[in-house]
Structure 1
Amino acid sequence: MSLVQQRRFTRRRTSVGASREFVTGVLAEWQLHTLIEDIRLCVSELATNALLHGVPPGREFSVALHRVEDQVRLEVRDSGPGQPSVQQAADDACSGRGLHLVRGLADDFGVDDHVVGKTVWLVFKTSATAAALP
């Protein structure tokens, strides 16, 4: 058995905060409180990247959470071109650390290309006590 929650967001700055609230609500509903802070930070980074680099004007991006057994998969999909890459930011740079950060927090990371756009995904393992689906 698996659980899935997904929501679409418009191309505006307030959507980053709305995506954080969305994942917080879903993870609380699934009683995965120990993952909330890490996944909130990761969705913030991925949603910001989608807005800055992946969502053309007039389009949306989507955020999805999938829960299967002992893991949660976070996906952020946009319809823009380009391939995200992990960069090594300069010490004094104000940006460029997002993908490096999310890769460090997640148990797995990847990008799926689509005919239009891509999905950046992260996998987080749940604790053994929280692994039973509600």
Structure 2
Amino acid sequence: MEPTPTPTTSADPRFTLRLSGTPRGARLARHLAAQQLAAWGVPYGSDASDAVCLVTAELAANAVTHGLVPGRDFRLSLLRLPGRVRVEVTDARPERLPPTVPQAGAGRGLLLVAACADRWGHEVRDVCAKTVWAEVPCP
């Protein structure tokens, strides 16, 4: 059973949750992003909300597809910054880095992320995890 998170208040600029490393967890990440954006005052269905949700869905799907270690979860973090939202997805496969430049032949996911985000990249903070992040313009 997936956890039922409570959205943060509009004053809290960070939302973080661990989700199961399954397709269901990836779908839930997208829905929770939309819910959190609405709590921050970004209307559901707006261009900004749709862009953040698309980026969240792609990064979460990549974590489940390419970053899966059986029995390990992935972490979704949304950070509200001035004029943008930073989406971070952390998985347990630091040795599997995304390409530095999205490639058309490798799928469209990172091309979509690059199209929606002002900046995106990845960080390996330790030997057990990597974080792929994107910053999406958001009023």
Fold-level match, TM-score > 0.5?
A: yes
Query: What secondary structure sits across from 1:114 in the alignment?
Result: strand
Q: Is the Cα–Cα contact under 8 Å of residues 2 and 69 in structure 1 kept in the other structure?
A: no
For 1:126 and 1:13, the matched residues in 2 are separated by 27
Aligned to 1:100: 111
Q: Which residue of 2 aligns with 1:132?
A: none
Partner of 1:120: 132
1:17-73 CA-partner distances (Å, limit 9, x unpaired) = 100111011000001123211111111111111011112000000111101222210
**Counterpart in the other structure of 1:77:** 90
CA distance in 2, matches of 1:126, 1:36: 8
Counterpart among 40, 49, 57 of residue 30 in structure 1: 40
Aligned to 1:63: 76
Q: Which residue of 1 aligns with 2:7?
A: none
Contact 1:2 1:68 in 2 (8 A): no
Aligned length: 123
Runs of 4+ deviating beyond 4 Å: none
Mapped to 2, the partners of 1:99 and 1:82 lie a distance apart of 14
Tell me how large the CA RMSD over aligned residues is.
1.6
TM (normalized to structure 1)? 0.84
Tell me the residue number matched to 2:31.
21
- What are the ranges of 5 or more consecutive residues in structure 1 without an aligned counterpart? 128-134
Q: Distance in 2 between matches of 1:15 and 1:120?
A: 17
Distance 1:108 1:2 in 2: 23
Asked if structure 2 preserves the Cα contact closer than 8 Å seen for 1:11 and 1:60, the reply is yes
